[in-house]
């Protein structure tokens, strides 16, 4: 399903969307990828060639990740308008969530509406929302949690780390542990391997120290990640590793949503039952993450990734992580290089097929000499298009995929 935001071509608006499980745990740290579901979402004609913005939420289980993502859905469905919270008696629907002590989300889910948004530069981007299985529940191993977290970090342009009450030392240690697996590709990447990390602190109880919102979050983040000569080497390295893993790190502080939401077993999602202070700052969070001027497409080697290319990356990364074991550095670098080259190959072949179809539909299509000349010209252009894409994995791998394209 495709949903358009302001200044975009309007598509039919679905009355109800759903989360689609694209990666499902199969036990003992292994996963199954639903390729058909992934392709149905990311290879739709209206989005497949659009730069993709992937917003993912990760964190400990039962801390409101799905509840948070449903605000994102509501904001994007409103076409990013300022009055998106003006109907207090409407149900807050979206990803399935509930109160209680047992997990709801398993594996990785994508919302089945891709939202098209026009940036201030006039570029149309596709926004994909990703929900993830909570870490450290009673049914998941550390390996399984690490894989989910790492895949989210590798695939997202904005990774929201959903934590409760404060940024604790354990939160930083978990982040370092999980990012270590994703950082296995770092040797082939210039700069940080991941894009933006947003610490989202829920139920912040000390607004008299640091105020709610982005400003207070920045102050808290500075305090949490500061290093000094007096710190133990391990604590200093932990903070340096986190800083070097992301191009940008930010923090946002949210107040308590109210007892009806947090502890009321009968709460069904009515906006009018959520505390006004929470809704006020949720509006600010939407502007920070999803306002058109702040949208960041997913990039690989500084090149924006399209929905179709994201589909390729998803499959290759999932293949590397699907077994019960954590992939080693060589496996992850090879997987990333393969995905990168396969994506470039697919784009080049699609270019050739499209241009050749255009030629063959013309009046000169019966001219065999013209057909041969055009074939050679488009083949050379496709090769140049393939070479023009910055790639991971080295020259030998690039040549292997070029020969595969020409075979």
Same domain, 309 and 360: no
Whole-angstrom distance, CA of residue 192 vs CA of residue 330: 18
Q: On the CB side of 350, how many CA atoms lie within 13 Å of its CA?
A: 10
| Cα separation values, 253 from 201, 218, 259, Å | 5, 9, 18
Mean pLDDT, all residues of the chain: 80
The residue among 302 and 207 whose pLDDT is bigger is 207
In a domain, 378, yes or no: yes
The residue among 168 and 396 whose pLDDT is bigger is 168
In a domain, 305, yes or no: yes
Name the residue among 392, 237, 373 with its Cα closest to residue 301: 392
Same domain, 88 and 165: yes
Least reliable range by pLDDT among 166-180, 213-227, 291-305: 166-180
pLDDT score, position 128: 96
Whole-angstrom distance, CA of residue 25 vs CA of residue 148: 9
CB 326 within 8 A of CB 147: yes
Of 23-32, 245-254, 316-325, give the range with the top mean pLDDT. Answer: 245-254
Name the residue among 246, 243, 241, 152 with its Cα closest to residue 195: 246
Residue 114 in this model has a pLDDT that exceeds 90? yes
Residue 138 in this model has a pLDDT that exceeds 60? no
Same domain, 186 and 44: yes
pTM: 0.78
Name the residue among 73, 78, 74 with its Cα closest to residue 55: 73
Of 65-74, 95-104, 268-277, 286-295, give the range with the top mean pLDDT. Answer: 286-295
Containing domain of residue 229, as a range?
A: 2-322
Same domain, 211 and 262: yes
- The tally of domains found in the chain comes to 2
Helix or strand (DSSP H, E) at 173: helix 169-182
The two most distant CA atoms of the chain are separated, in Å, by 79
* Residues linked to residue 202 through DSSP beta bridges, in sequence order: 164
Whole-angstrom distance, CA of residue 5 vs CA of residue 19: 20
pLDDT > 90 fraction of the chain, expressed in percent and rounded:
31
Which of 322, 352, 367 delimits the end of a domain? 322
pLDDT single digits (tens) 249-271: 999 999 998 866 655 555 555 77
Tokens of 103: 């997990």
Same domain, 272 and 355: no
pLDDT single digits (tens) 371-390: 788 888 888 888 888 887 77
Same domain, 265 and 385: no
pLDDT score, position 319: 82
Which of 263, 296, 322 delimits the end of a domain? 322
Least reliable range by pLDDT among 66-70, 166-170, 305-309, 358-362: 358-362
pLDDT score, position 221: 96
Whole-angstrom distance, CA of residue 111 vs CA of residue 109: 7
In a domain, 369, yes or no: yes
CA angle 73, 107, 292 (to 5 degrees): 25
Residue 8 in this model has a pLDDT that exceeds 50? no
pLDDT score, position 295: 95
CA 51 from chain centre, in angstroms, equals 12
Whole-angstrom distance, CA of residue 54 vs CA of residue 32: 21
Same domain, 124 and 219: yes
Same domain, 187 and 242: yes
pLDDT score, position 7: 40
Same domain, 361 and 294: no
Tokens of 396: 């030998």
Q: How many other C-beta atoms can be found within 10 angstroms of the C-beta atom of residue 184?
A: 22
CA angle 222, 165, 91 (to 5 degrees): 120
């Amino acid at each position: 399903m495709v949903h358009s935001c302001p200044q975009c071509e309007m598509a039919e608006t679905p009355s109800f969307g759903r989360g689609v499980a694209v990666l499902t745990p199969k036990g003992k740290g292994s996963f199954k990828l639903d390729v058909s579901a992934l392709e149905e979402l990311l290879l739709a004609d209206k989005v497949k060639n659009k730069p993709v913005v992937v917003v993912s939420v990760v964190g400990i289980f039962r801390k409101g990740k799905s509840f948070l993502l449903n605000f994102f859905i509501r904001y994007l469905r409103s076409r990013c308008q300022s009055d998106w919270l003006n109907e207090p008696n409407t149900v807050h629907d979206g990803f399935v969530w509930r109160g209680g002590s047992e997990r709801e989300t398993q594996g990785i889910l994508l919302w089945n509406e891709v939202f098209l948004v026009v940036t201030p530069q006039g570029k149309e981007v596709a926004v994909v929302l990703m929900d993830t299985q909570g870490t450290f529940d009673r049914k998941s191993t550390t390996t399984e949690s690490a894989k989910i977290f790492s895949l989210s970090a590798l695939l997202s342009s904005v990774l929201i780390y959903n934590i409760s009450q404060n940024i604790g030392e354990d939160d930083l240690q978990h982040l370092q542990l999980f990012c270590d697996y994703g950082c296995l590709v770092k040797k082939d990447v210039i700069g940080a391997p991941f894009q933006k990390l947003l610490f989202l602190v829920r139920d912040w109880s000390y607004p008299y120290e640091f105020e709610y919102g982005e400003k207070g979050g920045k102050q808290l983040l500075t305090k949490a990640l500061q290093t000094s000569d007096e710190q133990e080497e391990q604590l200093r390295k932990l903070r340096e590793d986190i800083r070097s893993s992301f191009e940008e790190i930010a923090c946002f502080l949210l107040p308590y949503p109210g007892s009806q939401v947090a502890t009321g077993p009968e709460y069904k999602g009515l906006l009018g039952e959520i505390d006004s202070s929470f809704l006020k700052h949720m509006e600010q969070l939407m502007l920070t993450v999803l306002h058109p001027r702040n949208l960041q497409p997913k990039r690989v080697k500084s090149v924006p990734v399209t929905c179709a290319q994201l589909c390729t990356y998803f499959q290759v990364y999932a293949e590397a992580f699907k077994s019960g074991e954590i992939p080693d550095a060589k496996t992850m670098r090879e997987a990333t290089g393969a995905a990168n080259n396969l994506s470039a190959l697919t784009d080049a072949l699609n270019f050739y097929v499209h241009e050749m179809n255009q030629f063959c539909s013309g009046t000169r299509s019966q001219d065999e000499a013209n057909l041969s000349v055009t074939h050679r010209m488009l083949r050379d252009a496709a090769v140049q298009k393939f070479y023009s894409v910055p790639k991971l994995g080295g020259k030998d791998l690039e040549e292997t995929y070029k020969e595969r394209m020409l075979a």
